[in-house]
């Protein structure tokens, strides 16, 4: 079952997973060990922003602004898409450490 991801979480491609443009096919592919996915254009826009630095909130804000779409709809779609890739082991999401745990 797909879970909701924390909006402050920072997604990155899992080890061995790469987003590449396949010149021969003229399309983007998500490559993983023994797997190749052909993401649609919307998925590609999301994946291009998965850099291990941007939070899910930042990705949603950037996409909502770039495509002039309702932010809540973008948030729902991005969450579902990334959660599906987390379940497949293709995306990892880390939560940033805020403050010092010892204080």
103 falls within a domain: no
Strands 27-32 and 35-37: antiparallel
Residue 3 pLDDT: 59
69 falls within a domain: yes
Q: Is residue 17 a contact partner of residue 56, using CB atoms and an 8 Å limit?
A: no
The CATH number for 44's domain is: 1.10.10.1150
pLDDT tens, residue by residue, 27-73: 999 999 999 999 999 999 999 999 999 999 999 999 999 999 999 99
Residue 65 is part of which domain span?
14-90
49 falls within a domain: yes
68 falls within a domain: yes
Selection from 83, 91, 62 nearest residue 6 by Cα: 83
The number of distinct structural domains making up the chain is 1
9 falls within a domain: no
Please give the average per-residue pLDDT across 4-27, as a whole number.
Answer: 91
82 falls within a domain: yes
Residue 98 pLDDT: 64
Q: Is residue 70 a contact partner of residue 64, using CB atoms and an 8 Å limit?
A: yes
- The DSSP code sequence of 6-36 is PTT-EEEEPTT-EEEEETTTTEEEEEETTEE
63 falls within a domain: yes
Say which DSSP state 50 is in.
-
Instruction: Give the predicted TM-score (pTM) of the model.
Output: 0.86
């Amino acid at each position: 079952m797909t879970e909701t991801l924390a909006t402050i979480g920072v997604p990155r491609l899992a080890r061995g997973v790469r987003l590449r443009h396949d010149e021969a096919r003229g399309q983007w592919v998500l490559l993983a060990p023994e797997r190749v996915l052909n993401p649609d254009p919307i998925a590609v826009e999301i994946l291009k922003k998965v850099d291990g630095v941007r939070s899910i909130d930042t990705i949603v804000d950037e996409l909502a602004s770039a495509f002039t779409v309702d932010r809540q709809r973008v948030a729902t779609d991005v969450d579902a898409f990334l959660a599906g890739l987390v379940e497949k082991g293709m995306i990892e999401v880390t939560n940033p450490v805020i403050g010092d745990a010892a204080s």
